[in-house]
Structure 1
């Protein structure tokens, strides 16, 4: 008799001990504030990631710099335009006849030179120069003897064409086009790197998006399982009251409730992890505190709205055209293949009897 009472006391203590965490969690759950919900489609997530992802922004800057360096290297073969003009004036007063005029006579000369031309470099290493030169000279003097021998105004002009070809060092296309070829290969590498980063970002966003969908579904399944475990506990308690059940069934149902609670906590952590990973890939300012420079994410709940169906892989390629990728169609194909390989996992709820 004493042994039976001792067992009953132990069972009551165990029931109270297991029930205390449940009641405290319910009370704390009621005090938890409701998070802002942000509806997000798969297409919108991909579009935001292509626009704000940090890695893509860095690769776009690198690719643009490589393209400019190739243009600068090709500019070595562009012709250069040159022009010049100079003006000189002189005035001389003759002190005697030995200086070219009567004593006290004044002579003035106005001399103007101009030139215009082009110069450039050919792929064979040949440098060429073409210029047109001109001169205008005007002479005036108050010496009456000089006007009969000199024309007061004269014009001279001419042109020059010069070609220079190296015979040994720097001869041929190889040395001349070396910088251009290096710049062109670097630009192609940067473009392919950007295209690869675009495809990897799209695949990562799609996979993380469906991971979030899977985590949310897994949480829903475990929450329903917790509800079923609570119902089973009530059934076992009623059976115990009417004498058709045992205390072991009640204790087992209570332990199952605690197991379901632990599973819910794990699912919550998985959902938060998948959501943070998705927001980190997207990196949109609206998801951060303080805008684009915000160090942490806002307290919100991302709700995926894209239906889980075979047509979910049909992301419009127009969205991918916002990237600097050379071939958006290949990025779209990669995204679709990545989507088909990241189908959300289904979790079956445990059966309770």
Structure 2
């Protein structure tokens, strides 16, 4: 049987296998859907969302101390007592079972109208804390998206490798049968059979290893999506690739403007500066307005008055100034200034680390872009070379060993190409994550 006839039979059998197992294949899961599910099902992100709600509730004027407080009070008292009274002129008065009843009520408003502008600083600080919580959520969501995307790209890689190894294993299966047939009729050698079988076994082993890696990555992705690890699905056939890539200076500008770690450091520095202003405000006087309405009523069978009733408004102004408090305000100001200095240094540190990481990722990306381009050219040449070598082999123009060298070369190029595309995709995702941009 010729290698062409064997190929037709193999294709026919493969078609039957695909049809019979297609109903067992998992549902297709795109990268966008995977990221969407992962974010929706992540419990930590739900916790972060609640933290944002709390931070948002704290951004009101009331939380900053800018609004007055209004309180209402009331009291009722009743007493029974025995009393003996002696007056200056010598008269005496004894009362047994005397009673007294008094009640009162008041509505009071207290409003701090000046506190060294601390209320305005406090309001700005609360808004900064809200923005910091929002940044933390966005950063966590993007980190989760990147983890899911990297795992997904590994699935695409293993799927591509399995496909390549399947195609080569099918060809080698045909070659093994052909070598055995030639050996039987005396036109081949045992060496050709053994070599072809060894190559086939090696490919089968590599394919099984890729399948195991695919299954492990599938389980990992399912866990990231908060699903059963055994859930099966199909993945995309291509890696994440950019339409066009910025130059290095463009990446630096975008990253310094949008990187979440850098934004977080900057926001932390702004909060630290607000703490300095709050500490300075504590050294200034505080002025409060208080006003309200009082009502009181007294009824007594003892004493000089049998009853008394009063009602009326009141208003007042209170000023407080801290003269000495054990240097507490001074100490808090020094601590706030030191923390602001630490936050400022942190910005420089994060900025340098981010730029260095960006440089490394950009160099990796550039390298793998160049490698993928070169391997694509090599693959075109290798495919043409293999086609020619296969034709020569079928016509007896070259030996099986010479065909093997061409086949091995093509397989190596195929594997290097998908590896380069995978690494290029991973570097691209890293660049986008670092710059705070979406790659989906």
Give how far 1:251 is off: 1.3
Give the aligned partner of residue 262 of structure 1: 205
Give how far 1:196 is off: 2.0
Change (3 A) 1:108 1:74: closer
- How many aligned residue pairs are there? 231
**Alignment partner of 1:119 out of 105, 110, 118:** 110
Give how far 1:212 is off: 1.3
Alignment of 1:211 onto 2:154: yes
User: Is the Cα–Cα contact under 8 Å of residues 73 and 107 in structure 2 kept in the other structure?
Assistant: yes
User: Is the Cα–Cα contact under 8 Å of residues 70 and 180 in structure 1 kept in the other structure?
Assistant: yes
- CA–CA separation in structure 2 for the residues paired with 1:95 and 1:301: 96
- CA–CA separation in structure 2 for the residues paired with 1:214 and 1:199: 22
| SS state at 1:74 partner | coil
Change (3 A) 1:310 1:92: closer
User: Is the Cα–Cα contact under 8 Å of residues 73 and 179 in structure 1 kept in the other structure?
Assistant: no
**Alignment partner of 1:250 out of 162, 168, 193:** 193
Cα deviations by residue, 1:149-196 (Å, 9 ceiling, x for unpaired): xxxxxxxxxxxxxxxxxxxxxxx114x555544443332222112112
RMSD (CA atoms): 4.5
Matches within 5 A, 1:69-218: 69-70=58-59, 74-88=63-77, 111-122=102-113, 124-125=114-115, 172-174=116-118, 176-177=119-120, 179-218=122-161
Give how far 1:93 is off: 10
Cα deviations by residue, 1:114-133 (Å, 9 ceiling, x for unpaired): 211222333x31xxxxxxxx
Structure 1 or 2: larger helix share? 2
User: Is the Cα–Cα contact under 8 Å of residues 83 and 117 in structure 1 kept in the other structure?
Assistant: yes
Deviating more after overlay: 35-44 vs 261-270: 35-44
Cα deviations by residue, 1:43-97 (Å, 9 ceiling, x for unpaired): 321221111225534433443444445559825333222112233457899999x
- CA–CA separation in structure 1 for the residues paired with 2:198 and 2:136: 54
Structure 2: runs of 5 or more not aligned: 1-22, 244-364, 391-402, 404-440
TM score, norm. by length of structure 1: 0.51
- CA–CA separation in structure 2 for the residues paired with 1:117 and 1:260: 87
Give how far 1:246 is off: 1.7
Change (3 A) 1:178 1:267: same
Alignment of 1:302 onto 2:233: yes
Give the aligned partner of residue 42 of structure 1: 31
Give how far 1:311 is off: 11
Alignment of 1:273 onto 2:216: yes
Q: Give 1 or 2 for the bigger CA radius of gyration.
A: 1
- CA–CA separation in structure 2 for the residues paired with 1:56 and 1:276: 21
Alignment of 1:222 onto 2:153: no
Change (3 A) 1:259 1:114: same
User: Is the Cα–Cα contact under 8 Å of residues 156 and 237 in structure 2 kept in the other structure?
Assistant: no
Structure 1: runs of 5 or more not aligned: 1-33, 126-171, 289-296, 314-340
Change (3 A) 1:240 1:93: closer
Alignment of 1:51 onto 2:19: no
Cα deviations by residue, 1:312-337 (Å, 9 ceiling, x for unpaired): 99xxxxxxxxxxxxxxxxxxxxxxxx
| SS state at 2:110 partner | strand
Change (3 A) 1:103 1:206: closer
- CA–CA separation in structure 2 for the residues paired with 1:83 and 1:244: 111
Give how far 1:219 is off: 0.8
Cα deviations by residue, 1:273-326 (Å, 9 ceiling, x for unpaired): 3323322332x2xx23xxxxxxxx2x342212x57499999xxxxxxxxxxxxx
User: Is the Cα–Cα contact under 8 Å of residues 182 and 188 in structure 2 kept in the other structure?
Assistant: yes
- CA–CA separation in structure 2 for the residues paired with 1:90 and 1:183: 50
User: Is the Cα–Cα contact under 8 Å of residues 156 and 239 in structure 2 kept in the other structure?
Assistant: no
User: Is the Cα–Cα contact under 8 Å of residues 148 and 224 in structure 2 kept in the other structure?
Assistant: yes
Alignment of 1:63 onto 2:52: yes
Give the aligned partner of residue 279 of structure 2: none
TM score, norm. by length of structure 2: 0.42
User: Is the Cα–Cα contact under 8 Å of residues 35 and 300 in structure 1 kept in the other structure?
Assistant: no
User: Is the Cα–Cα contact under 8 Å of residues 64 and 123 in structure 2 kept in the other structure?
Assistant: no
